[in-house]
Structure 1
Amino acid sequence: MASAADLPVAVEGLTLHSTAETSKFPNSYPSLNPVDAYRVHIAEKLGAAAGIEPEKLYPKLQWTNTLDKGDLVLPVPSLQIKKNPQELCKELAEKFPKSDLVAPPVPFGVHLQFFFKPEPLTKTVITRILKEKATFGTNGNQGLREPSDPSKGKKRIIVEFSSPNIAKPFHAGHLRSTIIGGFLANLYTVMGWDVIKMNYLGDWGKQYGLLANGFKRFGNEEELLKNPINHLFDVYVKINQIVGQQEGPIKELKEQIKAKKEKNEDVSVLEAELAKLVDVSEDEKARRYFKSMEDGDQEALALWRRFRDLSIEKYKQTYARLNIDFDVYSGESQIKNESMAAAYEAMEKAGVSEKSEGAVIVDFTKHGAKKLGKAIIVRKDGTPLYLTRDIGAIMERDEAYHFDKMIYVVAAQQDLHLAQLFKITELMGRKDLASRCQHINFGMVRGMSTRKGTVKFLDDILRDVADKMHEVMKGNAEKYAQVENPEETADILGLTSVMVQDMTGKRINGYDFNLDAMTSFEGDTGPYLQYAHARLCSIVRKSGLNVEELDSANLDLLTEPHAVDLVRLLATWPDVLLNTTKTLEPTTILTYLFRMTHILSSSYDVLKVVGSEPELKKARMALYEAARQVLHNGMRVLGLSPVQRM
């Protein structure tokens, strides 16, 4: 039968489900989402019986966090009917007519709980999953500009994420942006959007002057070709150590000059000495080198391009391990001077920018945004800043891609920077453009440093985690012998461990990188999630049944509470995906998947396959295959590669 390996890991390969059906209810697609059919049924039945417009009831029907609270719940106060909510709740329960799909509703305080009848739900949900397979839960209509008129095309979104600095290792600090951004790109893809994955590299600035000069002193051509990023990082650390040593005497002289000036003493000798120190400093040499790059020096640019190209090739290898590929490799260097000049002109014309001590600034306090303070747009020497390039970038992207939405997946430390960027865009008269941009922030992985060389390189971390998972796998010799590519499987398990630890909490929460915790099979971890999938694959293999045989299963036999609860949870997968487009949190999906694994782990002893009579065996296998498929679909949206054996 079909296995996890037979299905594409990349969600881009899916032909999404969409429908031409129309409904009087907003965002309602019963042919794509089984729960929508129940919403329509309840809204129309209850509306007719209670004299309430069904259109008013439909959007108020919410899904529940725990199955004991029902499959859908109606918070009666949300109807804003002038009656005692508890009494109205009981009244609505009594008026609800007999239904083939829904049990009599249960009033619980001010909430009316609806429980779906198991038989029709089981037939609908399992049949759909077995038929739709990898596309179950996808909804191409969500990404259409006008669902009623598909010819208007898809909405387009740019997801800017990862964005490491060229010539620096891809460390765990970059990991969050990469994991979250990859997940968001997958999410919008299965929801039917036209997704552009963009990597906006930190590939410009004085640090490249520092790196180039450092390479002249410490570089090794052989090492550069063998491991470009790690070698360039070693060079960067060494030259930075020299900068640190030179900073002390310069700082000391500046303090002496300041003290003498306060006493009105002559400082000409000290200033001359300071000028000499600054002139020969690596920091000043780096500034001059970068100035030559900005002025178009071909030799300087050729070396920079080489560092950039080598770095990108190395990054691509890491991204491939994480199931990520980018549509566009952009960067600060790619922003045209004309774009920045046009932005300056627009800011000046709109009265946004002003001169201050030789520099050009934006004083947000004068524009109703005191919390944003002031931002420098152009330095005294006329050079642009990071913010300036971002303003140019946002204009270029709007012109090039005509996007409906753009998401920046950037750490919370950049909250102020992004808020300033969006506000400037708005003040320039582009409120429409600013409203289409969103900052998806996140907390940091604690204990990481780049300047002092104490950084934990991601490739090293992934190797350590893979080695640990490999040792765990070897602990069961019988199962280990059945794994075709144990090293590859260990690598996938290691990646899953890292990614699941990262996605477990809300994005804004930082966390401590914990190798022991992430590789454990105890609790809701990556290895446990993979184990749940591998176990379902094992049950499928041992059953001896083909997927074609499951279509004829008698699903009426699935009457046990464990089976019913599992079906109820599987039914909500399309809703979970839709809700995730609102939370934009990977933990929304991850929490759902772990809920499923918990129900599964308590079901195996009750819903046995081996030893069951043939028809019951087939029905239970249909249930387990449906669960495996939804687990697989969810893992894939998160960017994980489900394994079949471990």
Structure 2
Amino acid sequence: SEVGRGKVVCLDFSSCNIAKRFHVGHIGSTTIGNALRNIYAFCGYKCVAINHLGDWGTNFGKMIAAYKLYSRKEKVDERGINELVDIYVRFNDEEKKNNALSDMARNAFTKLENGDEEYLEIWQYFKDISIKEYNKTYELLGISFDSYNGEAFFSDKIPGVIEELRQKNLLEKDNGAFIVRLEDYNLTNTVVLKSDGSSLYVARDIAAAIWRKKEYDFDKCIYVTSAGQSLHFAQCFKIVELMGYEWSKNLVHVPYGTMSINGEKLASRTGNVIHLDDLLAESISKCEKIIEEKNAELKDKKSVARAVGVGAIIFNALANSRIKDTNFVWEEALSFEGNTGPYVQYTYARSSSVLRKAGMDSVDDVKTAYPDLSSEEITLVKKLSEFPAAVNRALEENEPSVIARYTLALCSDFNQFYHNCPILRSEGAARAFRLKLTKCVRKVLGVSLDLLGMKRTEEI
């Protein structure tokens, strides 16, 4: 598609907090953002994938203080993020009983803000360790980023934003804090600067938007975050508009619902957290067992199990409208029948198998006269013709589930055709047409899997 030729889209997604492990709550932003990046790129856009890291704030004062008190480099090198999480939790627990620790944390963050060389080095070390571990998960998911500029990168740009808001008479003092009044726009008034002089997230997001426009000259900037942040982004975008930036209309929030596992909502406060890498590992392990039972002779079983196990989680996150809450149930998500990722990948493998047996190179693109079509063939041809419209709708609505639902429908129609219309056992024009139809299905399914961020599986 050429709809995006010459246009730039920035996509801000995943955006994890360093020194913390990925949990399954990150699946939504990560998979939806990556699928949108794939869809926009397929439609001709130049895409800039941004991981806006949570890598700044007073919590890093606590982290550095905890590191100095309870840990050392060798332990972090050995245990990675797990060590950072453990010492942070320990510090928080002991801080409740010892006020001196609060002072220590504040002093540590002040040193960090003032550019203390030792403290900046420790902070950078935490960041490097975190990104290294995150990249293992991203690699498994097949995701990469063009920028990791996060909170820290924009911290020194906030004073300029505050000054600009002042000059444009948008700041108003309220109980010691500075707010932007938005009640005339059906939004709550927004604090951008607290009474102690510290800025809030809205100021950082405004700074980031202005910088990204200058750096990338985007035609659209998409933020993929939970629906719980809808008000925040509405306020942020309105303030950018009030600052006189006409391009504010090109800032788009793409919200998504919550995720639960086996009906249980996940909450860090109650300790009900499942880490994403654990979920992926378990999914791959379960797929290995299923494949061992169903097709023990399969070549490269581990690679296939990895593709199907990861694909099952991605597809589960993308199958329904993104704003709906998602429930992950193992038995459903890993089934090779029904509305699942394994079903789609199995159907792709089935189409590949048919073409291999026929000698794929012999399935040429010469037009074949075959007017006597069955109802299954007519249905399948019609479904194939709907693919461009599905892509356009997914693009316009920022809705990857459109591709997921189309893919399920195509799989269903192909499997009906496969069972009711002999392909390899037919002859002459019928055989040639059915092989070409299978080749078209395989091509469209392959592209659909690519768009969703899933691996193609030639055999299962």
- State the TM-score, normalizing by the size of structure 2: 0.95
Return the offset for 1:547. Answer: 3.0
SS in 2 for 1:168: coil
Return the offset for 1:377. Answer: 1.4
Equivalent runs, 1:262-301 vs 2, <5 Å:
278=99, 280=100, 282-301=101-120
Any idea what the Cα deviations from partners look like across 1:158-216, whole Å, max 9, x if unmatched? 00100000011111111110100001111110111111111100000011111112223
**Inter-partner Cα distance in structure 2 for 1:193 and 1:358:** 45
Match for residue 23 of structure 2? Answer: 171
Inter-CA distance 558–567: structure 2 relative to 1 (3 Å threshold) = farther
Match for residue 205 of structure 1? Answer: 57
Match for residue 399 of structure 1? Answer: 214
Match for residue 368 of structure 2? Answer: 554
Tell me if the contact between 1:489 and 1:643 (Cα under 8 Å) persists in the aligned partners: yes
Tell me if the contact between 1:557 and 1:619 (Cα under 8 Å) persists in the aligned partners: no
Equivalent runs, 1:481-492 vs 2, <5 Å:
481-483=297-299, 485-492=300-307
Match for residue 105 of structure 1? Answer: none
Inter-CA distance 469–220: structure 2 relative to 1 (3 Å threshold) = farther
Please tell me the residue identity of whatever aligns with 2:273.
V
Please tell me the residue identity of whatever aligns with 1:612.
S
Return the offset for 1:627. Answer: 0.5
Find 2:189's aligned residue among 356, 374, 378: 374
Task: Give the aligned length.
Answer: 456
**Inter-partner Cα distance in structure 2 for 1:529 and 1:419:** 37
Inter-CA distance 553–612: structure 2 relative to 1 (3 Å threshold) = farther
Inter-CA distance 588–419: structure 2 relative to 1 (3 Å threshold) = same
Tell me if the contact between 2:363 and 2:435 (Cα under 8 Å) persists in the aligned partners: no
Inter-CA distance 287–374: structure 2 relative to 1 (3 Å threshold) = farther
Please tell me the residue identity of whatever aligns with 2:112.
M
Return the offset for 1:597. Answer: 1.0
Return the offset for 1:143. Answer: 1.0
Tell me if the contact between 1:537 and 1:628 (Cα under 8 Å) persists in the aligned partners: yes
Match for residue 178 of structure 2? Answer: 360
**Inter-partner Cα distance in structure 2 for 1:551 and 1:439:** 43
Any idea what the Cα deviations from partners look like across 1:29-71, whole Å, max 9, x if unmatched? xxxxxxxxxxxxxxxxxxxxxxxxxxxxxxxxxxxxxxxxxxx
Return the offset for 1:453. Answer: 4.8
Return the offset for 1:480. Answer: 2.9
Match for residue 386 of structure 1? Answer: 201
Find 1:427's aligned residue among 242, 256, 272: 242
Please tell me the residue identity of whatever aligns with 1:314.
E
Tell me if the contact between 1:157 and 1:403 (Cα under 8 Å) persists in the aligned partners: yes
SS in 2 for 1:603: helix
Match for residue 344 of structure 2? Answer: 529
Match for residue 219 of structure 1? Answer: 71
**Inter-partner Cα distance in structure 2 for 1:491 and 1:426:** 45
Inter-CA distance 520–217: structure 2 relative to 1 (3 Å threshold) = farther
Inter-CA distance 424–509: structure 2 relative to 1 (3 Å threshold) = same
SS in 2 for 1:327: coil
Return the offset for 1:229. Answer: 1.9
Return the offset for 1:328. Answer: 0.8
Any idea what the Cα deviations from partners look like across 1:419-464, whole Å, max 9, x if unmatched? 111111111122x121110000111213223356542111111110
SS in 2 for 1:410: strand
**Inter-partner Cα distance in structure 2 for 1:513 and 1:549:** 40
**Inter-partner Cα distance in structure 1 for 2:212 and 2:73:** 37
Return the offset for 1:540. Answer: 1.2
Match for residue 250 of structure 2? Answer: 436
Where structure 1 has 5 or more consecutive residues not aligned to the other structure, the ranges are 1-138, 145-153, 247-276
**Inter-partner Cα distance in structure 1 for 2:347 and 2:54:** 40
**Inter-partner Cα distance in structure 2 for 1:207 and 1:516:** 39
Match for residue 156 of structure 1? Answer: 8
**Inter-partner Cα distance in structure 1 for 2:206 and 2:158:** 7
Return the offset for 1:536. Answer: 0.9
Any idea what the Cα deviations from partners look like across 1:136-166, whole Å, max 9, x if unmatched? xxx02x013xxxxxxxxx1111001000000
Tell me if the contact between 1:407 and 1:439 (Cα under 8 Å) persists in the aligned partners: yes
SS in 2 for 1:201: coil
Return the offset for 1:221. Answer: 3.4
**Inter-partner Cα distance in structure 2 for 1:237 and 1:455:** 15
Where structure 2 has 5 or more consecutive residues not aligned to the other structure, the ranges are none
Return the offset for 1:220. Answer: 4.9
Match for residue 275 of structure 2? Answer: 457
Match for residue 380 of structure 2? Answer: 566
SS in 1 for 2:192: strand
Find 1:628's aligned residue among 439, 442, 455: 442
Inter-CA distance 598–549: structure 2 relative to 1 (3 Å threshold) = closer
Please tell me the residue identity of whatever aligns with 2:166.
E
Please tell me the residue identity of whatever aligns with 2:169.
G
**Inter-partner Cα distance in structure 2 for 1:558 and 1:186:** 38
Inter-CA distance 184–241: structure 2 relative to 1 (3 Å threshold) = same
Match for residue 306 of structure 1? Answer: 125
Match for residue 610 of structure 1? Answer: 424
Kindly report the root-mean-square deviation, in angstroms, between the aligned alpha carbons of the 2 structures.
1.8
Any idea what the Cα deviations from partners look like across 1:211-266, whole Å, max 9, x if unmatched? 112223333534422342222222222223334x43xxxxxxxxxxxxxxxxxxxx
Tell me if the contact between 2:369 and 2:429 (Cα under 8 Å) persists in the aligned partners: no
Find 2:313's aligned residue among 495, 498, 522: 498
Does 2:403 match 1:589?
Answer: yes
Please tell me the residue identity of whatever aligns with 2:4.
G
**Inter-partner Cα distance in structure 2 for 1:555 and 1:491:** 42
**Inter-partner Cα distance in structure 2 for 1:513 and 1:574:** 30
SS in 2 for 1:506: coil
**Inter-partner Cα distance in structure 2 for 1:495 and 1:576:** 24
Does 2:11 match 1:196?
Answer: no
Q: Percent identity, please.
A: 32
Match for residue 289 of structure 2? Answer: 471
Match for residue 77 of structure 1? Answer: none
Tell me if the contact between 1:570 and 1:627 (Cα under 8 Å) persists in the aligned partners: yes
SS in 2 for 1:157: strand
**Inter-partner Cα distance in structure 1 for 2:399 and 2:423:** 36
Any idea what the Cα deviations from partners look like across 1:120-139, whole Å, max 9, x if unmatched? xxxxxxxxxxxxxxxxxxx0
Greater Rg, structure 1 or structure 2? 1
SS in 1 for 2:105: helix
